[in-house]
Structure 1
């Protein structure tokens, strides 16, 4: 009996050693991956911040002049670095795109989860996922070939401008909003709807009085994430917005965005010059807005948990 116990104990310890080693290797690998991510994010923030802040501390450009200036003429006799037209273009296209995509995405999510879940999972969800995988240059080409001519035929102007950029961006962020809204509605406790039906409410009353108010923080999270992607999009917007550095007076006039200004001018500047540092300042504005969007999402997630 004692021999059997000794053998059993030794066998257990022999099997336990590989599990301990695997657990240790897994912890070390996970810690290294997290360390690499933290270092990468820190390096990006440091590099963009150091280049962007050099515009103010080295080149002497004022912060108010950059954020509130209306003219962007870095090659003029008196260089001007007014980024307000780019900031206005980025915010206007992102907000309008969210206003157009949010109702469509939420309605599609309600249809897929509350009205026809079978058809939604088999047909609509694969279509939404396919739309999310289309490259941005394809969206830009479709906007240039379809959206711009339609706007030109209906409204005055050349068709390029804030409206065209917003429509293209709304198509690009629609999968993000729809997917997050679908997950939020699918995770809703079934007892809430059954209780509403038991009280005599119809399906539509249950949707707009119970389902939507309960999942509103998660739905808004999808909208904010969609705006974040729209705010940082470059190529598709650049193809249809016109890239004119001024504040437009209508939705059908050409404009420009922060990403468009960076992609068009960065390759034509000398590293360390005032023009180059000013472009890094625009990148710093984009990075700051990304952090703002992340904080908003975190706030909405905490509110949803409460």
Structure 2
């Protein structure tokens, strides 16, 4: 989450008047994340999230995201629905951007989950995948393995400005990962970005799964690999207690299952996840406007993860 588009109190008040949510009391921009403009909005009837969709999110994809969230909510998963206005319209326009008013979920995001919390997170992903096994809508992964070569070419001129030799290092890792990618594994609707900051918890209980704006149809085990790469390290990319990663896998496997082929592919899938997030973070690092209210994320934290996975190929056994 972030703030790229500023919303005036007058415009927000008029926007809220379309809904039965009461009058505006306060609004505060949320700086975490890098994708959309987000505000925490309090009204006389409650608390909500206002999201304005920026350039990386195609408004044409929003129906897929919302259909997926509705399916998950109907199955009892703790996900935030987008709210319709009085006419039933969900997707609005505010300050020239597509915008939605979204349910607020209680909970906090963890920076360093415990094994017990990681097991709960893995179980939450398992329940999510189970609820989506017959989900019919399809959205290709715009940030999937097929997009990485072009993304690398776009980032390549600036990579060595982040760290000397980074361009060559990523180029080699990308070639190896593309050659080994397990396209034959089962696919389905996945979150594709289930970092700790997209999972809300109270104690050891998962109370919210949020930020579905990279959700897509892709290799299901890749979703688990993305989550492992995000939960098993601290913010600098330093490994946490190995029990965290093991517990996450245990929670997932107990709730949904993991075939021998999927488990064997996890090292390559995790290295791919590292390349994907390294490159998108590098792009944002190079191109984020200086005046944007946004917290840039260190791409080198994913280089350290990539190094770890390449040197610990038995981590998923």
Q: Above 0.5 in TM-score?
A: no
Q: TM-score, normalised by structure 1?
A: 0.23
TM-score (norm 2): 0.23
Structure with the higher fraction of residues in helix conformation: 1
